[in-house]
Amino acid sequence: MQKTAERLAFLALTIFLIGIMTACGVSSDSAEGEKVINIGVTDSLGSINPFAIDQTEISKYAIDLMFLPLVELDKDMHFQGMLADSVTTEDRIHFTVHINDAAMWSDGTPVTAYDVEYSVLRYASPVVGNTTLFLNVFEGTDDTTGYVEEGADSVFGLTVLDDKTIQFTTKSPMSLTTFQNSYGRYLHILPKHVIEKFGEDELTSNGWFDQPDVIDGPYFLVDYDLKDHISYAANPDYWKGAPKIDRLNIEIIDGSQIYSALQSGRIDITHHTLTTIPQEDYESIERLDNVNVIYGMPVTMQSAFIQTANIPDARVRQAMLYAIDRQQLVDRLLKGHGEVSDGFLTSVSPYYDESLEPVEFDPEKARALLEDAGWDSTRVLRFYVNSGDHTFVSGARAIAEQWAEVGINVRIIEADLTELMAMAGTSDYDIMAVQYTCAPIDPYPDVAWLLNGEGSWTGYYDREIMDDLEAAQRSDDIADIRELYSDIDRRLQQEVPMFSVYVISGQGAVNKRVIGAEPCTYGFFNDVQNWDVKQ
């Protein structure tokens, strides 16, 4: 799941607090001459606190606006320096990060390597209890939990070389791409001179995180409601340049409202992965005179995660895949804006193996597998889906019908994304379907997490897959890496602990009054300070 959301803060100047969003939604009112952009998203927010987020994409981006990540992917899937201006390694063990010399906190204090060290140590605190960053890869952390001793002020795996340079040391070889994608993008650095005033037991609950007044990002957090909105005011002292947009609002709305909100101008932008637009509205949005429509790369998978502890027979899981006409779903639900792909890779990945044919729709094969497995056709499986994704709620009903045709009965249970994330990793579901964006340039962290045995979203573990993953970390040869990931994807076809129902080429839209902002799967907010509007 995407973890890059922890750089947010608040503006203490009264002028920027005028007209903020109220609890009933984003206010369309603004002070005279004030520039405002409203972004419409359909997923609810788990938390705005960097130490407590659930690592969903909306949380990542929400925090990025306050607290910059070290690096971020741009729209072409190249790494772009954000807080750091370089990340290098010579041996895949020692990673040297240099903080941009110009990087500055909003109170005028320089951002330093000591901020990085202190923040990482707090993320690794057993009191904070972060379970999503997987800091156990670094020397000096517990091999299982990734924690350090409570109150630790240093560990072997973090070495400050000078005020602007810090070195991370891993326990085993790691590719530079994985370091940047898994840690450079997801470690949100906080101001040491502020948060060191808090006890470790306060870091997930202190009110400062609801309205931080010292940030290094482009926007201060002004107000938020986890299920309704997030409102920001420009940081006039942003070290990359004061944002041209005075107020930036993220409105959390139902997908069925997107079309009318774009039409009326209530929202200005939708995003390929943050905004799930009902497919039946695609053509209507395309016909709107006031917006430009941009389709994204096919990277976001509508994934189904099978809790293998509850469905242990691979033959049953194979039958579930054979029983679904996935191309029909792409054609009917996505209007052709997507593809069918097996495994973790889609056609835009440099490691995609075109020779790997997706499992075809074959209900007779499904029935034979179920019979061979001695499947109990009276059993009813719990099939959880994201209530905010209206397109897939319809798709789930179609899948349930196709499964019923071969003797697999399910009960569809709708829950919002926050509820699904709280349930994920437990065994309290049989199948859970959510949209999942696996970085095409580096599937390693997602494969390692999702197939990590008990406690993962699948409960599945395979030594062969883990061996292939480790081999991929030691190679720079694209052909070799492609072969390794192809082996992993073929293994997934056999074992089916999870599968991609389809891959979405999501629709994004932007109001024609907006200048410099383009919906893109990656790098959406990288240069948000340059966004503007026609007045």
- Cα distance between residue 162 and residue 14, in whole Å: 37
Give the pLDDT of residue 384: 97
State which amino acid sits at residue 166: I
Residue 278 CB neighbours (<10 A): 20
Residue 255 lies in a domain: no
| More confident of the two residues 449 and 497 | 497
Please report which helix (H) or strand (E) contains residue 36, including its range.
strand 36-41
One domain, residues 350 and 494? yes
Give the pLDDT of residue 94: 98
One domain, residues 189 and 331? no
| More confident of the two residues 55 and 18 | 55
Give the pLDDT of residue 421: 87
- Cα distance between residue 334 and residue 28, in whole Å: 32
Q: What are phi and psi of 529, to 5 degrees?
A: -65, -15
The pLDDT of 389-394, averaged and rounded, is: 89
One domain, residues 201 and 310? no
**What are the pLDDT digits (tens) for 477-488?**
889 999 999 999
- Cα distance between residue 138 and residue 158, in whole Å: 8
One domain, residues 338 and 474? yes
Give the pLDDT of residue 13: 27
Residue 376, domain CATH: 3.10.105.10
140 to each of 148, 159, 165, 182, 284, how far by Cα in Å? 7, 11, 19, 18, 55
The pLDDT mean for the chain works out to 90
Give the pLDDT of residue 128: 94
Both tokens of residue 24? 């009933």
Where residue 134 falls among pLDDT bands split at 50, 70, 90? confident
**What are the pLDDT digits (tens) for 180-197?**
999 999 999 999 999 999
- Cα distance between residue 214 and residue 207, in whole Å: 13
DSSP letters, 397-445, are HHHHHHHHHHT-EEEEEEE-HHHHHHHTTSSS-SEEEEEEE--TT--HH
Domain edge (last residue) among 187, 209, 231? 209
Picking from 226, 159, 522, 524, the residue whose alpha carbon sits closest to that of residue 349 is 522
**What are the pLDDT digits (tens) for 412-431?**
999 998 899 889 878 899 99
| DSSP class of 190 | -
Both tokens of residue 341? 């792909």
**What are the pLDDT digits (tens) for 141-178?**
999 999 999 999 999 999 999 999 999 999 999 999 99
**What are the pLDDT digits (tens) for 302-359?**
999 999 999 999 999 999 999 999 999 999 988 889 999 998 999 999 999 999 999 9
Give the pLDDT of residue 404: 98
Residue 186 lies in a domain: yes
- Please determine, for residue 25, whether its predicted confidence score (pLDDT) is greater than 90: no
The pLDDT of 468-496, averaged and rounded, is: 92
One domain, residues 204 and 336? no
Q: What are phi and psi of 16, to 5 degrees?
A: -85, -5
One domain, residues 204 and 309? no
Picking from 490, 270, 280, 512, the residue whose alpha carbon sits closest to that of residue 394 is 280
**What are the pLDDT digits (tens) for 305-321?**
999 999 999 999 999 99
- Cα distance between residue 45 and residue 321, in whole Å: 31
> How many separate domains does the chain show?
2
Residue 137, domain CATH: 3.90.76.10
- Please determine, for residue 9, whether its predicted confidence score (pLDDT) is greater than 70: no
Give the pLDDT of residue 31: 63
**What are the pLDDT digits (tens) for 240-280?**
999 999 999 999 999 999 999 999 999 999 998 889 888 88
The β-bridge partners of 251 are 40, 229
Residue 227 lies in a domain: no
Give the pLDDT of residue 15: 25
Residue 274 lies in a domain: no
Cα-to-chain-centroid distance, residue 37? 22
Domain edge (last residue) among 163, 184, 209? 209
Give the pLDDT of residue 390: 85
**What are the pLDDT digits (tens) for 51-69?**
987 767 888 899 999 999 9
One domain, residues 351 and 496? yes
Give the pLDDT of residue 335: 86
One domain, residues 71 and 190? yes
Both tokens of residue 352? 């995609």
One domain, residues 192 and 313? no
The pLDDT of 226-248, averaged and rounded, is: 96
One domain, residues 172 and 305? no
Query: How much of the chain exceeds pLDDT 90, in percent?
Result: 76
State which amino acid sits at residue 528: V
Residue 117 lies in a domain: yes
Residue 267 lies in a domain: no
- Please determine, for residue 27, whether its predicted confidence score (pLDDT) is greater than 70: no
Residue 220 lies in a domain: no
Both tokens of residue 256? 């069925």
Domain that holds residue 171: 67-209
**What are the pLDDT digits (tens) for 495-519?**
999 999 999 998 999 999 999 999 9
Residue 523 lies in a domain: no
Which SS3 state, helix, strand or coil, does residue 329 take? helix
Give the pLDDT of residue 409: 98
Domain edge (last residue) among 209, 236, 269? 209
